[in-house]
Amino acid sequence: MFSGHFGVAFASKRPAPAVSLATAILAAQWLDTLWPIFLLLGIEHVRIDPGNTRLTPLDFFDYPWTHSALMAVVWGVVFGATHFAFRRSARAAFVLGALVPSHWVLDFLTHRPDLPLWPGGPRVGLGLWNAPVAEAVLEAAIYVAGLAVYLRATRPRDRRGRLGAWAFAVFIPLLHVITALSPPPPSVGALAWSAAILPWPLLLWARWVDRHRQPR
């Protein structure tokens, strides 16, 4: 799951219009933002294993602290509480806190049974990565629905808000396709560094787009 996480972040603009789109995306992708850091620190591990599923060459055999259901909830509480400490908005904190474990729920649909319920606990996953057509339809549906909610919940302040939003909206699924069709990463280190760096330009772009739009 990749585009789907962005779709959920887009949709959060309706219940939390004051929250920046960039902050919502960061919350929805928080587990994947922590994951490469934990890889680089040697806390979690992954294997490059082409053929592991039909859509990813990665074997996620050890990531209990970022991708177990229990820790997803814990990270959600931490994320929401941190936002509340700075913004004092209970609604925004709740929405952002819910976005964090939403990542695990969407991953549950696509991952094979490699997602722990808690560190050391049983592993689950429906495995839609082995059913590419079904996975693509589901992910596209979540993304398009979330984007539609965002576009209805906001309006452009200027031309940049209109064209920038559409450019960003097109780029995310395009990036998804390019990533899916790319060869496996040459090493775990290269994977971790690319995963650690990639989100930040996207977050800056999302922040710029959102600054040129306003709630309806």
> Do the Cβ atoms of 79 and 96 come closer than 8 Å?
yes
**Structure confidence by residue, pLDDT tens digits, 162-177:** 999 999 999 999 999 9
Domain boundaries, the chain: 3-215
The sign of the CA dihedral 172, 75, 101, 108 is: positive
Give the containing element (helix H, strand E) for 122: none
**Structure confidence by residue, pLDDT tens digits, 95-108:** 999 999 999 999 99
| Of residues 78, 62, 73, 65, the one with CA closest to residue 34 | 65
**Structure confidence by residue, pLDDT tens digits, 113-144:** 999 999 999 999 999 999 999 999 999 999 99
> Do the Cβ atoms of 25 and 203 come closer than 8 Å?
yes
pTM: predicted TM-score of the whole model, two decimal places? 0.96
Across residues 171-199, what is the average pLDDT?
95
What is the per-residue pLDDT for 174? Answer: 96
**Structure confidence by residue, pLDDT tens digits, 26-50:** 999 999 999 999 999 999 999 999 9
